[in-house]
Amino acid sequence: MPPYTIVYFPSQGRCEAMHMLLADQGQSWKEEVVTIDTWIQGLLKPTCLYGQLPKFEDRDLTLYQSNAILRHLGCSLGLYGKDQREAAQVDMVNFGVEDLRCKYGTMIYRNYENDKDDYVKALPGHLKPFETPLPQNQGGKAFVVGDQISFADYNLLDLLLIHRVLAPDCLDNFPLLSAYVAHFSARPKIKAFLSSPEHVNHPINGNGKQ
Ligand code: 6SG
């Protein structure tokens, strides 16, 4: 039995970064898919702390909140910087990813048709802070903090990939971010995951917008 179970909707949503992390780290996990119909029946929601998914189990530890799950995996699997100072920088990037993910989610779920153009226009300003640290990291060929991979890298990769689907040329003026995505996506286990049915057949968002 794999030690990890992920309970989530049949979309990539808030779980694709943890999927990429686990796949890249050679971990296996069990997936429990909750359909919208099941969720709307309402029996599961009150059992979830905060009333939302994902739910994550690591043996007898149950967690909610995707970023707590990512950080837990970072701590357990050595993906949280080489020391406390790097850990603080990993947190900084991860909170930055969360801020943009929330803006993206608001646009996707609230009023996609109306808001998409303005969102894409403002995107360069929101992407720039993720490129800024990369010159210290072998021109985008290494990782976002220090010289080892962290949970924030998986979260950032997912964020950049979903934005490239939204606006295919959004990274064109960010050579280091483009190199980072290319290099990271070519890691053998990431490449295999990104071409697997579990990734390809899962819509990015629960409402089908992307
Ligand atoms: C939504 O937002 O798919 N969880 C979502 N929604 C259900 O009743 N801060 C935490 C975290 O980082 C955020 C959790 C996250 O873990 S994911 C959740 O549980 C709820 O609140 C995005 C997504 N949304 C679409 C969706 C399909 C089924 C449930 C949510 C039915 C259709 C739309 C809403 C209800 Fe729906």
Per-residue H/E/C for the chain = CCCEEEEECCCCHHHHHHHHHHHHCCCCEEEEECCHHHHHHCCCHHHCHHHCCCEEEECCEEEECHHHHHHHHHHHHCCCCCCHHHHHHHHHHHHHHHHHHHHHHHHHHHHHHHHHHHHHHHHHHHHHHHHCCHHHCHHHCCCCCCCCCCHHHHHHHHHHHHHHHHCCCCCCCCHHHHHHHHHHHCCHHHHHHHCCHHHHCCCCCCCCCC
Q: Which CATH number fits domain 4-78+192-200: 3.40.50.1820, 3.40.50.1110, 3.40.30.10, 2.30.30.60?
A: 3.40.30.10
Give the span between the Cα atoms of 48 and 9, in whole angstroms: 14
What is the dotted CATH code of the domain comprising 84-187? 1.20.1050.10
**Whether pLDDT at 140 is above 80:** no
Query: Is 84-187 the same fold as 4-78+192-200?
Result: no
Question: What is the predicted pLDDT for the residue at 13?
Answer: 98
Protein residue with its CA nearest to atom 19 in ligand 1: 52
Protein residue with its CA nearest to atom 30 in ligand 1: 206
Cα 51 to ligand 1 centroid, rounded to whole Å: 9
Tokens 């993910």 -> residue: 101
Cα 22 to ligand 1 centroid, rounded to whole Å: 22
- In sequence order, what are the beta bridge partners of 61? 58
Confidence of residue 190 (pLDDT cuts 50, 70, 90): very high
Q: What is the pLDDT of residues 16-53, one digit of tens each?
A: 999 999 999 999 999 999 999 999 999 999 999 999 99
**Whether pLDDT at 135 is above 90:** no
CB-facing half-sphere around the CA of 120: CA atoms within 13 A: 16
Protein residue with its CA nearest to atom 32 in ligand 1: 36
Q: Is 38 in the pocket of ligand 1 (CB under 6 A)?
A: no
pTM for this model (two decimals): 0.96
Q: Where are the domains of the chain?
A: 4-78+192-200, 84-187
Q: What is the mean pLDDT of the chain?
A: 97
Confidence of residue 139 (pLDDT cuts 50, 70, 90): confident
Cα 73 to ligand 1 centroid, rounded to whole Å: 22
Protein residue with its CA nearest to atom 6 in ligand 1: 52
Q: With beta carbons less than 8 A apart as the criterion, state whether 127 and 163 touch.
A: yes
Protein residue with its CA nearest to atom 8 in ligand 1: 52
Confidence of residue 146 (pLDDT cuts 50, 70, 90): very high
Return the ligand 1 atom nearest residue 64 CA. Answer: 16
